[in-house]
Amino acid sequence: MALPKVGWIGLGIMGKPMVRNLLNAGYPLVVWNRSRPAVDLAASWGATPANSAKEVAEQCEIVVTMVPDSPDVQQVVLGPNGIYEGIRPGSVYVDMSTISPMVTKRIAAKLAEKGVQMLDAPVSGGDIGAQRGTLSIMVGGPREAFERCLPLFQILGENIVHAGEENGLGQFVKLCNQTACGLNLLAMVESIALGAKAGLDLEKMLAAITKGAAGSWMLSNLGPKVIAGDWEPGFMVKLQQKDLRLVLEAAASLGLPLPGTALVHQLFRVVEAAGLGEKGTQALAHALERMGNFKIHPDEG
């Protein structure tokens, strides 16, 4: 059976390696991106370049977006020369960006008017997961559309969960993920800050606590970076902030107080105010250093 022609919009740090994996798996791809060099690169790998999102949608039965934020998705779907203008009834639109679940629902309702099903399918696992095809993919939307797109998801990721048939549920799972990530980050940096102020050998401290009830992915993977003074991303502070904003907006729309997540969002603002928005999320440690007027690494500037 021939693989369906897939349209892809958004060739950033995530989109590029995902497109490459699909091309390697034999999918025919039509691509568009706001800036042209990424389109040319994808074309050099075998993708067909297009001149607009509309032009992509006209040619493909599955159309995917992977763009930064809710307004970008709205623009590329509903804006002039957008997906909505080009997409044919019976096609599936898949948004793999992390955006607002409420915006997701509105876009799905609009596309339904044209006989198009939507999946929200945000991912976690970062650029490394995108390169290796090991992303987690959290999907909301009709089962039929999910099953149609599953072979494609299986090229891109490993842990693929269909959260439910309602659009937005995939986004909500992603937001639950980011909520836990944010507070686990704070757990890691408060723990290390306390150890640093107490004069502990921080490597010994981490070795003592990582395997037990205090353990987390953040402690194991980013704790050593904080101790080593390595602030390179990984996942950037400004992207974590975008996701925490989405969490807090969603929680507000549900009438749910999330005091811890609100605090993490504010503490990351301290990091951003210090000009460190493009550092890795482990730079949350800087907020504690600044507030406590100390350095985890006394030798640092």
Just list the catalytic residues.
174
Q: Between 11 and 205, name the residue whose CB sits nearer to a copy of itself.
A: 205
Encoded one letter per residue, x for contact with a copy of itself by CB under 8 A and - for no contact, window 230-269 reads -----x-----------x--xx--xxxxxxxx-xx--x--
Residue 293 and residue 70: Cα distance in Å, rounded?
37
Residue-level length of the chain: 301
Q: Which of residues 137-166 bind a copy of itself (CB under 8 A)?
A: 138, 159, 161-164, 166
Residue 253 and residue 257: Cα distance in Å, rounded?
10
Residue 203 and residue 208: Cα distance in Å, rounded?
9
Note whether 274 binds a copy of itself by CB under 8 A: no
Binder among 82, 195, 233, 280 for a copy of itself (CB under 8 A)? 195
Contact 85, 116 (CB under 8 A): no
Note whether 13 binds a copy of itself by CB under 8 A: no
Residue 288 and residue 291: Cα distance in Å, rounded?
5
Q: State the minimum distance, in angstroms, from the CB of residue 194 to a copy of itself.
A: 5
Q: State the minimum distance, in angstroms, from the CB of residue 215 to a copy of itself.
A: 4
Piece of the chain touching a copy of itself by CB under 8 A; list 33-41, 47-55, 71-79, 195-203: 195-203
Q: Which helix (H) or strand (E) holds 229?
A: none
**How do beta strands 123-124 and 135-140 pair?**
antiparallel
Q: Which of residues 116-135 bind a copy of itself (CB under 8 A)?
A: 124-126
Q: Which of residues 73-112 bind a copy of itself (CB under 8 A)?
A: 101
**Running DSSP on this structure, what letter comes out for residue 29?**
E
Q: State the minimum distance, in angstroms, from the CB of residue 166 to a copy of itself.
A: 8
Q: Which of residues 32-71 bind a copy of itself (CB under 8 A)?
A: none
Contact 21, 64 (CB under 8 A): no
Q: State the minimum distance, in angstroms, from the CB of residue 42 to a copy of itself.
A: 27
Piece of the chain touching a copy of itself by CB under 8 A; list 18-26, 69-77, 110-118, 214-222: 214-222
Contact 21, 155 (CB under 8 A): yes
Q: Which of residues 163-182 bind a copy of itself (CB under 8 A)?
A: 163-164, 166, 168-169, 172-173, 175-182
Q: State the minimum distance, in angstroms, from the CB of residue 218 to a copy of itself.
A: 7
Query: What DSSP assignment string belongs to 87-128?
Result: PPTT-EEEE-S---HHHHHHHHHHHHTTT-EEEE--EESHHH
Q: Between 27 and 235, name the residue whose CB sits nearer to a copy of itself.
A: 235
Among 70, 76, 69, 71, CA closest to 34: 76
Q: State the minimum distance, in angstroms, from the CB of residue 134 to a copy of itself.
A: 10
Among 186, 168, 177, CA closest to 254: 168
Note whether 191 binds a copy of itself by CB under 8 A: yes
Q: Between 79 and 164, name the residue whose CB sits nearer to a copy of itself.
A: 164
Residue 102 and residue 73: Cα distance in Å, rounded?
12
